[in-house]
Chain A
Amino acid sequence: MGFRDTPAGAAPSPADPQRDKGQLFTPEIRAAIDRAIAQYPPEWRQSAVMPALTLVQEHNGGWLSRELMDDVAAYLDMPAIAVYEVASFYSMYDLEPVGRHKVCVCNSVSCMLNGSEDLIGHVTDKYGVRPGETTPDGRFTLKEVECLGACRHAPAVLVGKTYHECLTPQALDRLIEDLE
């Protein structure tokens, strides 16, 4: 079980109240984060931490630097460590630079039983990257991720934002070959 935030009455202290929120990110990102914040009660700005991290990560070439996480913390009035907790927990956030594309192979139980380990082994052999590594030409990063929720058509692979299901090593190869 992961860390739980504390109930009301022990609201976390802001990371750095001195920082001017209007100087963080770009106006477009700020507007998008504000739309996410508006979905929650006003005293729970930090509920928007996941959409905010997603937006910031997309804008930053697919990964989150510590500075960006600190900015998100400042923007949402939450302690920096609470943002690190979220960003390090979910596999869709990357905390190191990544390739132009992310090939995310699900390795939870259904996919594993249906051959996802073969997919990973194939990519590793053919492209010389183990899970978590990026090809030398920066084309893609191979990731082994937790359940993608596509068990019915296992094994599943997420490339960018697109799901691909019932994959064989050859089918996955074709997907990778099509990447820029």
Chain B
Amino acid sequence: MTDKVTIEIDGRTCEAQPGEMIIAAADREGIVIPRFCYHKKLSIAANCRMCLVEVEQNGRPFPKPLPACATPIAAGMRVQTRSAKALEAQRGTMEFLLINHPLDCPICDQGGECELQDVAMGYGDDLSRYSEGKRVVLDEDLGPLIATDMTRCIHCTRCVRFGAEIAGVRELGATGRGEDMRIGTYVGHTVAHELSGNVIDLCPVGALTAKPSRFQARAWELRTVPGVAPHDALGANIELHVRRGRVIRIHPRDNEAVNETWLADRDRFSYAGLYSDDRLCEPMVKRDGEWHPLPWADALRLAATGLAARAQSDAAAVGLLMSPSATLEEMYLAQKLMRALGVANLDHRLRQQDCRSDAADPALPWLGVPIAEVERQAALLLIGTDLRQEQPLLAHRVRKAALAGASVTLVNPYRLDLTFANRQFVADPAAMLLELAAIAKALGGAAKEAGGAVADLIGMAKANAGHKETAKQLRAAGKQGAGLILLGALAAAHPDYSLLKALAYRIATASGARVGFLPAGANGVGAHLAGLVPHRGPGGAPLAAPGLAAAAMLAAPRRAYLLWGLEPDRDLADPAQAQRALAGAELVVAATSFRTPALEALADILLPIAAFAETSGTFVNAAGTWQGFAGAVVPPGEARPGWKVLRVLGNELGLAGFEQTSSAEVLAELRAAGGEATPDNAPAGDPEAIAPVPAPVSAERPDLWRIGNLPIYAIDPLVRRAPALRHTPLGEGLAVRLHPEEAAARGLADGDAVLVAQGEARATSRVVLDAAVARGCARIPSGVPGSESLGASIAPVTLEKV
């Protein structure tokens, strides 16, 4: 590292790196220099000229003021940000910037939190000398998330640079010249990117504002409550802006270790789901097919006696299914309650079909590296993940790694549209195993011993140049401890997930790379810590008598179920089977924030629980960081925070250890119970010790596979209820996406109506030709309207033209 130099800014002596820009050093010192185009996360444009300062070096003044954002620091510099000359330059710039800026602050949504307004207060004149006509710029429709008022634009180009450098998709640009310059897409199309909302924060004026919260409140009326985003395993740090008990909007909170300064659109706009019409506001019970509201005390007594009666007669006939986005406190209390009743069937892995390797799996799986380390990897192998959709901001870290030269290889059933250099092996689910086996083979992964599914697969695989190149890159990266293999949601939904994991471990051992997992929901790592898996207790302690996993307790129906924070027709691996199992059960108690037709049809008791932003709690992110948050608003009606419901349910059941008076107490109890254990991806057993045969893919190969990916805005009940997100280009609906050749071979054309059948489960939809989908696969998303009646997300399927 170069030696630091000492410079003087406004008479204050400070240390800085030579080559660092003046504005960065000043920011660190807390010396405010006005700016519009400069942003610490973007490249330097130096085009607004607002940050002009007076500089001298070794006693020799520079003849003209210099932009602080583009002037590198050198030894012997003396900077004056508030000298007469600097202020005159800043005032002059301000006057020019205001020439064309409309004086419409009273009707501008940015008013009160506008960088231009603030700086104009400090540097602007009270009268403009400009008497000619102001220019007017026509607005462009940038979609349902971003409102535009382009006449207000001051051409800082932050949004343009964000698109090019961060999003990796250049859609916005500055066209025209001089007076005619304008920011837009030129052809007027909707901005389609999962991080697009960040341009709202970047825009220093009111040209780009948030459409869903536009004109809802003024900045000074809002109360700010820190929180944690609830939709992915990153746990982006957020600020909830609340007015009169209502979440008006959500902004990111800077945290370099997690979300830097960004926020995914899903986390920014999903709060609208809190105010959907189908919120459950009072406890309800179904009597003779009719739903009746009832007081909490009665509802809890009914639920408690019903569950206790079934558990007493046969504890194995009761099961708990819980959302992986529930809080740590809810998870801990739920498993504690069920286990106190003797119930061992409990799980949060709602979309995982294959749990054969539970005993061999790591006790507390996690990402494998801290989040910020992802961008420092030299080689990444991503298995079964639609990365941008599953973990938008982690995808940004992977992109940073790729831009820094890392090799990124993906093995998926469809080709991803990525914004960085990559190598993709696109194959149907059975062939995905062979692709991985080929990489293992190229690494010299000879059979450990004869027999075994993994050894068989490696024996069958043929390594081509691409596999060999990936193997080489992984090995080279592994040597420097910078190789990472990640398994995502499409892998977890794979019918041979255990084989994918075994192959991943095989490749990791042979290459020196690490294995990591992209956890489901907001709290997948927390679920393991809390013991919300059938085979392990809190802290990952192994259990002598494991219960059934989610898939098993629906495949072999139970007499009673407790559902927590999920919709049985949208959030489970095989909705058709799940609904059948629930319909046949004697008692279904559902704790939910939303009252849906499926829950009304299947449940017997509905308990209204607080949703995101309405409860205190903790999420453990993919990197194992515990992030606690307080409730920002009060839940509607009679709805109550989930941990309180579970505590009172425990009291109602007469169980010991349910006397907590705050979520912090619950958390302390979990910590004491071993919940503070460090996540570790070392397998607990031999990942390859899997019964080789009953694997569906090693048996006869199906004619066509359904790939039931989970679209970015369909992942959980809250985000599905945010209308603005649904109307973006990423708001995917039900369709049958087929490779054009696959469609042609089956006599299907674009737009054909087809009957989709998975055994008894059926749905109708339309064919969409999509060359990204692997041959032998039909991409038919899950979690979207119309997919409720279908079967397992990754499984054989048949199509019939209707």
Q: A3-B160, A10-B403, A88-B177 are in contact. Are A81 and B171 (CB under 8 A)?
A: yes
Contact of B45 among A4, A80, A90, A91 (CB under 8 A): A4
Chain A residue nearest to B419 in the complex (CB)? A13
Q: Tell me the A1-43 residues at the B interface (CB within 8 Å).
A: 1-7, 9-10, 12-13
- For B398-426 the 0/1 string (1 means CB < 8 A from A) is 00000110000000000000010000000
Contacting residues, chain A, for B169 (C-beta < 8 A):
13, 79
When the two chains form their complex, are residues A79 and B170 in contact, meaning their CB atoms are under 8 A apart? yes
Can you list 21 pairs linking A and B with CB atoms under 8 Å apart? Answer: A1-B47, A2-B181, A3-B174, A4-B45, A4-B157, A6-B161, A9-B404, A10-B43, A10-B165, A13-B168, A66-B187, A79-B164, A80-B186, A81-B173, A84-B187, A85-B173, A88-B175, A88-B176, A89-B175, A89-B177, A146-B177
Residue B185 is within 8 A (CB to CB) of chain A in the complex: yes
Q: Given the complex of chains A and B, what is the CA–CA distance between A80 and B163 in angstroms?
A: 13
Residue B172 is within 8 A (CB to CB) of chain A in the complex: yes
Chain B residue nearest to A90 in the complex (CB)? B177
Q: Given the complex of chains A and B, what is the CA–CA distance between A90 and B173 in angstroms?
A: 15
Q: Given the complex of chains A and B, what is the CA–CA distance between A88 and B174 in angstroms?
A: 9
Query: How many residues does chain B have at the interface if contact means C-beta atoms less than 8 Å apart?
Result: 26
Q: A3-B157, A7-B43, A13-B169 are in contact. Are A85 and B174 (CB under 8 A)?
A: yes
Q: Given the complex of chains A and B, what is the CA–CA distance between A104 and B533 in angstroms?
A: 76
Q: Given the complex of chains A and B, what is the CA–CA distance between A89 and B186 in angstroms?
A: 13
Query: Which of A2, A3, A4, A84 is packed against the most chain B CB atoms within 10 Å?
Result: A3
Q: Given the complex of chains A and B, what is the CA–CA distance between A81 and B169 in angstroms?
A: 10
Residue A68 is within 8 A (CB to CB) of chain B in the complex: no
Q: Given the complex of chains A and B, what is the CA–CA distance between A85 and B187 in angstroms?
A: 12
Q: Given the complex of chains A and B, what is the CA–CA distance between A108 and B172 in angstroms?
A: 30
Residue A82 is within 8 A (CB to CB) of chain B in the complex: yes
Contact of B172 among A4, A7, A81, A89 (CB under 8 A): A81
When the two chains form their complex, are residues A81 and B185 in contact, meaning their CB atoms are under 8 A apart? yes
- For A67-89 the 0/1 string (1 means CB < 8 A from B) is 00000000000011110110011
Q: Tell me the A43-58 residues at the B interface (CB within 8 Å).
A: none
Contacting residues, chain B, for A1 (C-beta < 8 A):
46-47
Chain A residue nearest to B45 in the complex (CB)? A4
Contacting residues, chain B, for A84 (C-beta < 8 A):
173, 175, 186-187
When the two chains form their complex, are residues A2 and B177 in contact, meaning their CB atoms are under 8 A apart? yes
Contacting residues, chain A, for B176 (C-beta < 8 A):
88-89
Chain B residue nearest to A11 in the complex (CB)? B403
Q: Given the complex of chains A and B, what is the CA–CA distance between A84 and B183 in angstroms?
A: 11
Query: How many residues does chain A have at the interface if contact means C-beta atoms less than 8 Å apart?
Result: 23
Q: A9-B403, A12-B164, A13-B169 are in contact. Are A4 and B47 (CB under 8 A)?
A: yes
When the two chains form their complex, are residues A6 and B165 in contact, meaning their CB atoms are under 8 A apart? yes
Main secondary structure of the interface of A (DSSP, over half): loop
User: Which B residues fall within an 8 A CB radius of A?
Assistant: 43, 45-47, 157, 160-161, 164-165, 168-177, 181, 185-187, 403-404, 419
Contacting residues, chain B, for A9 (C-beta < 8 A):
403-404
Q: Given the complex of chains A and B, what is the CA–CA distance between A101 and B161 in angstroms?
A: 38
Contact of A81 among B47, B157, B186 (CB under 8 A): B186
Q: Given the complex of chains A and B, what is the CA–CA distance between A93 and B210 in angstroms?
A: 35
Contacting residues, chain A, for B45 (C-beta < 8 A):
4
Contacting residues, chain A, for B174 (C-beta < 8 A):
2-3, 85
Q: Could you tell me the distance in whole angstroms from the C-beta of B91 to the nearest C-beta in chain A?
A: 19
Q: Given the complex of chains A and B, what is the CA–CA distance between A7 and B181 in angstroms?
A: 22
Q: Given the complex of chains A and B, what is the CA–CA distance between A80 and B186 in angstroms?
A: 9
Contacting residues, chain B, for A81 (C-beta < 8 A):
170-173, 175, 185-186
Contacting residues, chain A, for B165 (C-beta < 8 A):
6, 10
Task: Identify 11 new A-B residue pairs, CB closer than 8 A, beyond the known A13-B168, A81-B186, A89-B175.
Answer: A2-B177, A4-B45, A6-B164, A10-B43, A80-B186, A81-B172, A82-B170, A84-B186, A85-B173, A88-B176, A88-B177
Q: Could you tell me the distance in whole angstroms from the C-beta of B11 to the nearest C-beta in chain A?
A: 31
Q: Given the complex of chains A and B, what is the CA–CA distance between A3 and B186 in angstroms?
A: 14
Closest 3 CB pairs of A and B: A81-B173, A79-B170, A3-B174
Chain A residue nearest to B169 in the complex (CB)? A13
Contacting residues, chain B, for A66 (C-beta < 8 A):
187
Contacting residues, chain A, for B186 (C-beta < 8 A):
80-81, 84, 88
Query: Which of A4, A12, A90 is packed against the most chain B CB atoms within 10 Å?
Result: A4
Q: Could you tell me the distance in whole angstroms from the C-beta of B74 to the nearest C-beta in chain A?
A: 20
Q: Given the complex of chains A and B, what is the CA–CA distance between A79 and B189 in angstroms?
A: 14
Q: Could you tell me the distance in whole angstroms from the C-beta of B184 to the nearest C-beta in chain A?
A: 9
Q: Given the complex of chains A and B, what is the CA–CA distance between A118 and B176 in angstroms?
A: 26
Q: Could you tell me the distance in whole angstroms from the C-beta of A79 to the nearest C-beta in chain B?
A: 4
Q: Given the complex of chains A and B, what is the CA–CA distance between A89 and B176 in angstroms?
A: 5
Q: Given the complex of chains A and B, what is the CA–CA distance between A6 and B160 in angstroms?
A: 10
Q: Given the complex of chains A and B, what is the CA–CA distance between A4 and B43 in angstroms?
A: 10
Q: Could you tell me the distance in whole angstroms from the C-beta of B326 to the nearest C-beta in chain A?
A: 38
Q: Given the complex of chains A and B, what is the CA–CA distance between A10 and B168 in angstroms?
A: 8
Q: Tell me the A131-151 residues at the B interface (CB within 8 Å).
A: 146
Contacting residues, chain A, for B177 (C-beta < 8 A):
2, 88-91, 146
Q: Given the complex of chains A and B, what is the CA–CA distance between A63 and B176 in angstroms?
A: 16
Contacting residues, chain B, for A5 (C-beta < 8 A):
164
Q: Could you tell me the distance in whole angstroms from the C-beta of A43 to the nearest C-beta in chain B?
A: 13
Query: Which of B45, B176, B186, B404 is packed against the most chain A CB atoms within 10 Å?
Result: B186
Chain B residue nearest to A5 in the complex (CB)? B164
Contact of B164 among A10, A80, A89 (CB under 8 A): A10
Contacting residues, chain A, for B160 (C-beta < 8 A):
3
Chain A residue nearest to B171 in the complex (CB)? A81
Contacting residues, chain B, for A13 (C-beta < 8 A):
168-170, 419
Contacting residues, chain A, for B175 (C-beta < 8 A):
81, 84-85, 88-89
Chain B residue nearest to A4 in the complex (CB)? B45
Contact of B173 among A7, A10, A82, A146 (CB under 8 A): A82
